[in-house]
Amino acid sequence: MTTALAQPRSWRPPSPSHAPSTSPPSTCRFAWWGAEELGLVGSKHYVDRLASTERSKISGHLNFDMIGSPHPGYFVYDDDPVIEKTFKEYFAGLHVPTEIETEGDGRSDHAPFKKAGIPVGGLFTGASSTKTVAQAQQWGGTSGQSFDRCYHSSCDTTANIDDTALDRNSDAAAHAIWILSAGTTTPPAGTTYENTADVSIPDNGAAVTSPIDVSGRTCNAPAALKVGLDIVHTYRGDLTVDLVAPDGTAYRLKNSSGTDSADDIRTTHTVDASVETAYGTWKLRVQDTAAQDTGHINSFRLTF
């Protein structure tokens, strides 16, 4: 799959449920090229048919050919320095080392765009080349084994995918597309992430958590992080409630209190989480500290 940053069609960035509808100033075109294995037929045909005025409108082309290899590495194209830097900074924020991609040079659908003078970049998780000892140490896996033992083979099915690599690279693609088209370091403020799964709260028992995975944000959380709570309970005074950051730091949202005799908690707290990395798993932690009342976490949301 490849993504060309172009003019004609507008693009709305991928966002979690309930996120505001936004679009960057620049526009993007997504393309799935045909007959790549037969000589880059589809992408070459597309570029060859572009008038010079149309070519000049394309600020860059991003290529995502093989981003979920089953024994993955994390490779970044070094063709355009701006695009390369964008991807490298994203993975640095995840503490995932990257290397320059060389195995696919000139062999994938970015090649016709590069030949036409259009800036290109992209991601790659490896094909038939084998993982070195150093690469196995930094990425995991087994040295001497191919990044994709089923490359160009009949076993290359949907089962031949590493979900973690696919998730990381998909998030990196969305992040880079946003930055390169909008010119900002983060998606717009106001993006909301939400977990609507019910979590039962044991009566006078252990704490329970509701997690939210935040991806695609390489900066810190805001100083005014909004934490929305919807907790159904017959006596909320029994409850202590914390927001737990990805590094384990806990922010107390509510203490238990014998004088708080109402039921349910439906409110939004503002937390200064500016010292916390936004990316990662945030948790709402709730504990019932006294007996004879029941409830559950109905939903939990974070608005950046």
**Catalytic amino acids?**
36
Terminal C-alpha separation, the chain: 30
Burial class (CB in 10 A: 0-12, 13-18, 19+), 105: middle
Question: CA torsion angle for 111, 116, 117, 119 (degrees, to 10)?
Answer: -40
Q: Which two tokens stand for residue 110?
A: 């970015």
Give the Cα separation of 98 and 138 in Å (integer): 9
- What are the backbone dihedrals phi and psi of residue 62, each rounded to the nearest 5 degrees, phi first? -110, 130
Contact between residue 220 and residue 275 where contact means Cβ atoms under 8 Å apart: yes
Which element (helix H / strand E) includes 81?
helix 81-93
Contact between residue 256 and residue 293 where contact means Cβ atoms under 8 Å apart: no
**Which residue is listed with tokens 């907790």?**
231
The CA distances from residue 208 to 7, 178, 194, 245, in Å, are 48, 35, 17, 15
Interstrand relation of 192-195 and 295-303 (parallel, antiparallel or unpaired): antiparallel
Question: CA torsion angle for 185, 75, 115, 30 (degrees, to 10)?
Answer: -60
Give the Cα separation of 124 and 245 in Å (integer): 31
